[in-house]
């Protein structure tokens, strides 16, 4: 597609690296194709880039069984927002009612004294909701609405 129907928006991220991508030439242009693992690590760190928590939940649900979770953790550990990303991933998987993959569960556990993380943006969803103590995440998004979103 060309013209107004096909729009792209590039977003500058200071800490972005090409690790977790595959470099290819398509139609004569160099492109970087992101791996599932890179997508999950980056999207969980900045969920607004994939449609907020509802978009992130859709991505997680579709990728859960085909993801190399050890690789997600490797990528997350190299990111300045990696701890937040891993905690958000684990909490979202739990809310979706799916088992949290063992490697993720082992690395996403909140450290003692770690600040609470809100699943959804506070300015949009508020600050109330049950706390998932293991991840130190406040589920300020309606769990039923999140599960309904991925069932579509």
Report mean pLDDT in 10-residue bins for the chain, 152 residues.
57 61 85 90 92 96 96 92 95 97 96 93 94 96 94 88
pLDDT of residue 148: 95
3-state secondary structure the chain: CCHHHCCCCCCCCCCCCCCCEEEEEECCEEEEEECHHHHHHHHHHCHHHHCHHHHHHHHHHHHHHHCCHHHHHHHHHCCCCHHHHHHHHHHHHHHCCCCCCHHHHHHHCCCCCCCCEECCCHHHHCCCCCEECCCCEECCCCHHHHHHHHHC
pLDDT of residue 119: 95
pLDDT of residue 8: 57
pLDDT of residue 3: 53
pLDDT of residue 24: 85
pLDDT of residue 23: 84
């Amino acid at each position: 597609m060309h013209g107004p129907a096909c729009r792209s928006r590039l977003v500058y991220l200071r800490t972005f690296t090409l690790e977790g991508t595959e470099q290819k030439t398509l139609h004569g242009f160099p492109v970087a194709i992101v791996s599932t693992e890179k997508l999950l690590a980056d999207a969980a760190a900045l969920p607004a880039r994939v449609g907020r928590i509802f978009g992130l939940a859709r991505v997680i649900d579709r990728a859960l069984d085909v993801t190399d979770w050890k690789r997600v953790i490797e990528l997350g550990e190299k990111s300045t927002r990696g701890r937040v990303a891993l905690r958000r991933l684990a909490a979202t998987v739990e809310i979706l009612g799916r088992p949290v993959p063992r490697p993720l569960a082992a690395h996403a556990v909140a450290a003692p004294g770690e600040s609470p993380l809100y699943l959804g943006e506070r300015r949009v969803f508020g600050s109330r909701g049950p706390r998932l103590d293991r991840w130190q995440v406040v589920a300020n998004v309606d769990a039923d609405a999140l599960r309904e979103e991925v069932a579509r």
